[in-house]
Amino acid sequence: MSDVKKVVLAYSGGLDTSVIVKWLQETYACEVVTFTADIGQGEEVEPARAKAQALGVKEIYIEDLREEFVRDYVYPMFRANTIYEGEYLLGTSIARPLIAKRLIEIANETGADAISHGATGKGNDQVRFELGAYALKPGVKVIAPWREWDLTSREKLMNYCEQHEIPVDFSKSKKKSPYSMDANLLHISYEGGILEDPWAEAEEDMWRWSVSPEAAPDEPTYLELSFEKGDIVAIDGERLKPHEVLSRLNKIGGDNGIGRLDIVENRYVGMKSRGCYETPGGTIMLRAHRAIESITLDREAAHLKDELMPKYAKTIYNGYWWSPERRMLQAAIDETQTFVNGTVRMKLYKGSATVVGRKSEQSLFDESIATFEDDAGAYDQKDAEGFIKLNALRLRIAAGKGRSAS
C-alpha cells in the first residue's frame, strides 16, 4: 500500500470524509489533497478549509461549481427528458461526473497518483466516481475506504475519531438525521432508516426542501418559462443563468409542495433500494421541456428521443457520462434542440406542476390544419383514404391468406 504518494479526496468537510483524510494519511502514508465543491447542496463549503487544515492537509481546493454543474450537466440531461425507471430525475447521478472530472484535473495539477471518495461499496456512487476517473485518467489509483477498512459501524468510526483526535462535533447537523442524504442544486435524496421498509410511508419531517402539498398555499402560482435550444433561459421574462434558473425553480417549486418522490429503484450493483427525493425545480423543468417540445419538435424526432431516453438515462445512472455511448446519444439529442424555442406557462398548486399554455415562433402546431372548422383546403381529407389503405395493405394480405388477427 506504500505506492501511493498523493491522493485527491472528494471532501465534504463532514465526519466521514474527515475520518477518511486521517485514514488515508495513516494507511497509505501519503499526502492528501482535499477537494470540496459547492454544487448547490445548501451548506457552506468554506468551513471545510479549516477542517482540512486541522487534519494537516496542505493542498486544499474549494470551488463554486454551481454554474458549470447546471449548464454542462443538468441542462444537457434535461434536453432528453431524462427519467430513470419512469420516475427518478437522476439528481445524484448527474453530479458525479463533474466531481470525477475535477478530482482528476486536480490530480493532474498537483501531481497526485490517486483519488479517493467516501461512497460505500453498495451504492451507485462509487461506480460513477470511479468510471469517470478511469475514463479520464486510465492509470489512476482509486482508493475507496468503505470497501477497504473495518470501520463498518458508527461505533467503530467514533472510536477511530477519538483515537485520532478528530473533532466529532462539527458534524452535528448531519447526525440529527436518521437518513443517508445527498444534495445538490438538482435534488436532495434520503435513504436508510425507516425507508428500508418499502411499505412504510416516509415521515413528514424527513422532507427538507419542500412543504407538504397540504401546507402549500391555497392559491396557485403561475409561471412563464422561456426556452432557447431546449434550455430554460428566463423565468417570467427575467433572463437568468442556468444555475439561477434552477435555484429559483427550487424555491418556487418547494414552496408549492412540488417534486417529492418515493420509489424503489434498481441499482447498478444489482440490488433494489428505496429512495425518497425532492426535485422541485427539476420536476417543473421536465414538464415544461416536454411542453415546449410538443409544439416545436418534429414527431419522429420526438419519438426517437423517447425510444433512446431509457438508454440515455441508464447510461447516466450507471455512471457512464464520460463514455462514447453518452456522447453519441448526446449528439443525437442536441441535434434536435435547434428549434426548441418558446415559452411555456405553468400552474403550480399543492404538489402539482401542470402545463396550461405553450407558444413559440418556431411552433409546428398549425391551427389552420388542425382546426375542426373549415380549413380552406389546407388539408385534403381524401388523402386519408390512401394513407389508411396502404398502411393496411400488409394486414389485409395477411388476413386474406387466412391469418387471424385476433
Q: Helix or strand or coil: residue 367?
A: helix
Three-class SS string for 31-62?
Answer: EEEEEEEECCCCCCCCHHHHHHHHCCCCEEEE
Minimum distance of its own copies from residue 27's CB (angstroms): 16
Of the residues 177, 180, 247, 323, which is catalytic? Answer: 180
Sheet-wide strand order for 221-228: 238-239, 231-235, 221-228, 342-349, 352-359
Touching its own copies, residues 22-61 (CB under 8 A): none
197: how many CB neighbours lie within 10 A of its CB? Answer: 9
Q: Which residues contact 147 (CB under 8 A, 6 or more apart)?
A: 120, 121, 126
- Known catalytic residue: 180? yes
- With binding defined as CB under 8 A, does residue 405 bind its own copies? yes
Residue 169 and residue 356: Cα distance in Å, rounded?
49
Q: Helix or strand or coil: residue 228?
A: strand
Minimum distance of its own copies from residue 29's CB (angstroms): 21
For the annotated binding site for L-citrulline, the residues are 88, 93, 124, 128, 180, 189, 265, 277
Nearest to 44 by CA among 10, 17, 14, 9: 14
Query: DSSP 3-state helix, strand, coil percentages of the chain (rounded to 5)?
Result: 45, 20, 35
Touching its own copies, residues 325-354 (CB under 8 A): 325, 327-329, 331-332, 334-336, 339, 345, 347, 349-352, 354
Type of residue numbered 146: W
Of the residues 66, 79, 96, 287, which is catalytic? Answer: 96
Minimum distance of its own copies from residue 44's CB (angstroms): 26
- With binding defined as CB under 8 A, does residue 362 bind its own copies? yes
- With binding defined as CB under 8 A, does residue 228 bind its own copies? no
Touching its own copies, residues 80-109 (CB under 8 A): 81, 85-87, 101
Minimum distance of its own copies from residue 345's CB (angstroms): 7
- With binding defined as CB under 8 A, does residue 205 bind its own copies? no
- With binding defined as CB under 8 A, does residue 215 bind its own copies? no
Which of 6, 122, 208, 229 touches its own copies by CB under 8 A?
122
Sheet-wide strand order for 141-143: 59-64, 31-38, 6-10, 114-116, 141-143
Select 48 or 235, whichever has its Cβ closest to its own copies.
Answer: 235
- Known catalytic residue: 96? yes
Select 91 or 257, whichever has its Cβ closest to its own copies.
Answer: 257
- With binding defined as CB under 8 A, does residue 300 bind its own copies? yes
- With binding defined as CB under 8 A, does residue 364 bind its own copies? yes
Output phi, psi for 310, to 5 deg: -55, -40
- With binding defined as CB under 8 A, does residue 204 bind its own copies? no
Residue 328 and residue 346: Cα distance in Å, rounded?
32
Sole residue written with cell 428500508: 196
For the annotated binding site, the residues are 10-18, 37, 88, 93, 118, 120, 124-125, 128, 180, 189, 265, 277
Binding-residue total with its own copies (CB under 8 A): 131
Question: Catalytic positions, please?
Answer: 16, 96, 125, 180
